[in-house]
Amino acid sequence: MSDTGRRVAIVGSGPSGFYAAEALLKDDRNLQVDIIDRLPTPFGLVRGGVAPDHQKIKNVIRVYERTAGNERCSFIGNVMVGRDVSVADLQRFYDAVVFTCGAETDRTLAIPGIDLPGSHTATAFVGWYNGHPDYRDLSFDLSGETAVVIGQGNVAVDVTRVLAKTVDELAGTDIAAHALEALAESKVREVHMVGRRGPVQAAFTSKEIRELGELGDCALHFNDQADFDLGPACRAELDDAGNTDAQRNWKALGELREAGPASGCSKRIVVHFFRSPKELAGDGRVQRLTLEKNRLAGDAGDQWAEGTGETVEMPCGLFFRSVGYRGVPIEGLPFDDRRGVFPNQGGRITGGGAALPGLYAAGWIKRGPSGVIGTNKPDSTETARNLLADLEGLAACAVPDTGALLAQLRDRGARPVSYEDWRAIDAAEVARGAAAGKPREKFTRVEEMLAVLD
Ligand code: NAP
């Protein structure tokens, strides 16, 4: 079929955005697909979230580069929906808009002392060491000996590992220079990773927990071996044939316990189960943390943590909450405040229970912050399939012209960044990195990125 002139905008250039674009571009109605991002750099969490010492995971970018190279696909970076352009504006230029803007903030942890200096979100620390411009000017006081990370998802494991690695282990990665410099001076010797439930319910995956036992100068300890004595409900959960993640974790944890902590290390990681944070305290900054011991309540497969009333206090110079991400609303779109997502049915955004014509969602803003990068492919494909099924019935937009959108953006003072522009920024980063033996040295401020172009 020849070009029908149908046009789709995708808001967010992370994995879910690129997978949605890939699926839409395959349709034989030859759609134009423009991917908009608030940063001048594409790839979302692959650039700003994946840990710098997990370079191989970033190879997935090659797939996205192929999509970006399609002549019917454009990248429009450095343009923020809600600031530079409204949802209603986008609907003037596109027949449909797919929101793949992820989950940009954190779930809260409401305990006394949470706002004391020295208490941070994992998101902020991850953004900082990955050179995300939003977090560039943060600083983390690494002068204390003890850091605590609350949560046992893979983000908590990333934060724990980065704090525990030696500078040599991080130096050849694309970690931001400012972070490497600060970590080189770090006095942190103990990192405690604290989960509210048990080893069978831990949200990390086996490859990631194994890595904590393979660090250059860090011994891995488990706080209490009794945490591995399983009650009948945990045993039933573990024996459930479908619970393969827990089974792999159990095996990995068993092997790590059997191997025991490495000797002669100057740092240690301590993994705690069945503990919840109750209070942070200190004189003007975080110094102490009170944890409450938990037991599990509920049935196998649906067990939650219940406080026992028994508390323990520990020193804590630096505190991170890593209890999950959360989506943020965009003006002009409905928002499910409880789940932190855009309400939707199969990716069709709904208002008052009915699908809103031409508005779609995919990725974390559609289903919540779960799964690995690859999980987004079927998720985005489902949204694209539903959009393509609706396409005939969607009204054609008033101004089917990307050039007109770009002109409007420039009139309003925005400086859109094209994919070609990004390639220039990319080349400059790679060249800077080569000098330091790194895959790239990221620009960490938007102005620095734009200076490469102008
Ligand atoms: P996550 O996997 O949902 O883990 C959140 C953790 O926070 C869980 O341990 C959860 O415990 C805990 N938690 C939540 N509320 C809490 C509270 N009030 N008190 C104490 N603990 C609380 O989230 P994530 O680590 O942010 O990761 C997001 C997604 O990205 C995940 O799917 C993850 O696998 C993925 N990811 C993957 C990689 C990788 O593949 N290497 C790296 C990073 C992230 P409960 O289980 O008890 O709720």
Dump pLDDT digits (tens) for 311-351. 999 999 999 999 999 999 999 999 999 999 999 999 999 99
**Is residue 2 in some structural domain?**
no
User: Is the CB of 152 inside a 6 Å radius of any atom of ligand 1?
Assistant: yes
Question: Ligand 1: distance of its center to the CA of 9 in Å?
Answer: 30
Residue 152 alpha carbon, nearest atom of ligand 1:
9
Strand 73-76 and strand 190-194: the pairing is unpaired
Q: What is the DSSP letter of 346?
A: T
**Is residue 25 in some structural domain?**
yes
What are the CA-CA distances from residue 59 to residues 54, 63, 365 (Å)? 10, 8, 24
Using an 8 Å Cβ cutoff, are 266 and 188 in contact?
A: no
Question: Ligand 1: distance of its center to the CA of 426 in Å?
Answer: 31
Using an 8 Å Cβ cutoff, are 382 and 347 in contact?
A: yes
SS3 of 355, please?
A: strand
Using an 8 Å Cβ cutoff, are 294 and 307 in contact?
A: yes
Q: How many domains does the chain have?
A: 2
**Is residue 432 in some structural domain?**
no
Using an 8 Å Cβ cutoff, are 19 and 380 in contact?
A: yes
User: Is the CB of 409 inside a 6 Å radius of any atom of ligand 1?
Assistant: no
Using an 8 Å Cβ cutoff, are 190 and 268 in contact?
A: yes
- State pLDDT tens for residues 37-62: 999 999 999 999 999 999 999 999 99
CA–CA separation, 401 and 441 (whole Å) = 36
**Same-domain check for residues 208 and 297:** yes
User: Is the CB of 345 inside a 6 Å radius of any atom of ligand 1?
Assistant: no
User: Is the CB of 46 inside a 6 Å radius of any atom of ligand 1?
Assistant: no
CA–CA separation, 329 and 370 (whole Å) = 18
**Same-domain check for residues 315 and 368:** no
434 Cβ neighbours under 8 A, 6+ residues apart: none
**Is residue 185 in some structural domain?**
yes
The continuous run of DSSP H or E covering 317 comes out as: none
User: Is the CB of 200 inside a 6 Å radius of any atom of ligand 1?
Assistant: no
- Note the pLDDT of residue 3: 66
Burial of 378 (0-12, 13-18, 19+ CB in 10 A): exposed
- 367 CB-side CA count, 13 A: 16
User: Is the CB of 156 inside a 6 Å radius of any atom of ligand 1?
Assistant: yes
The boundaries of the domain holding residue 369 are: 7-104+326-417
**Is residue 120 in some structural domain?**
yes
**Is residue 427 in some structural domain?**
no
What average pLDDT does range 81-103 have in this prediction?
97
**Same-domain check for residues 44 and 181:** no
**Is residue 448 in some structural domain?**
no
User: What CATH code is carried by the domain that includes residue 206?
Assistant: 3.50.50.60
**Same-domain check for residues 404 and 364:** yes
User: Is the CB of 201 inside a 6 Å radius of any atom of ligand 1?
Assistant: yes
Question: Ligand 1: distance of its center to the CA of 268 in Å?
Answer: 22
Q: Which of 271, 297, 323 is the last residue of a domain?
A: 323
Which among 377, 453, 388 is positioned nearest to 422, based on CA atoms? Answer: 453
Note the residue count of the chain.
454
Residue 197 alpha carbon, nearest atom of ligand 1:
47
**Same-domain check for residues 100 and 121:** no
**Same-domain check for residues 62 and 113:** no
**Is residue 192 in some structural domain?**
yes
Q: Which of 299, 323, 347 is the last residue of a domain?
A: 323
**Same-domain check for residues 235 and 112:** yes
**Same-domain check for residues 31 and 146:** no
197's tokens: 């439930």
Give the CA angle between residues 14, 169, 224 to the nearest 5°: 90
CA–CA separation, 28 and 37 (whole Å) = 26
**Same-domain check for residues 65 and 195:** no
Residue 305 alpha carbon, nearest atom of ligand 1:
47
What are the CA-CA distances from residue 430 to residues 141, 424, 438 (Å)? 30, 10, 8
User: What CATH code is carried by the domain that includes residue 396?
Assistant: 3.40.50.720
CA–CA separation, 336 and 324 (whole Å) = 16
**Same-domain check for residues 336 and 291:** no
Percent of the chain with pLDDT over 70: 99
CA–CA separation, 169 and 177 (whole Å) = 14
Q: Which of 275, 306, 323 is the last residue of a domain?
A: 323
**Same-domain check for residues 35 and 133:** no
User: Is the CB of 208 inside a 6 Å radius of any atom of ligand 1?
Assistant: yes
- State pLDDT tens for residues 162-210: 999 999 999 999 999 999 999 999 999 999 999 999 999 999 999 999 9
Question: Ligand 1: distance of its center to the CA of 159 in Å?
Answer: 12
Question: Which pTM does this prediction carry?
Answer: 0.97
Question: Ligand 1: distance of its center to the CA of 197 in Å?
Answer: 12
User: Is the CB of 325 inside a 6 Å radius of any atom of ligand 1?
Assistant: yes
**Same-domain check for residues 179 and 278:** yes
SS3 of 21, please?
A: helix
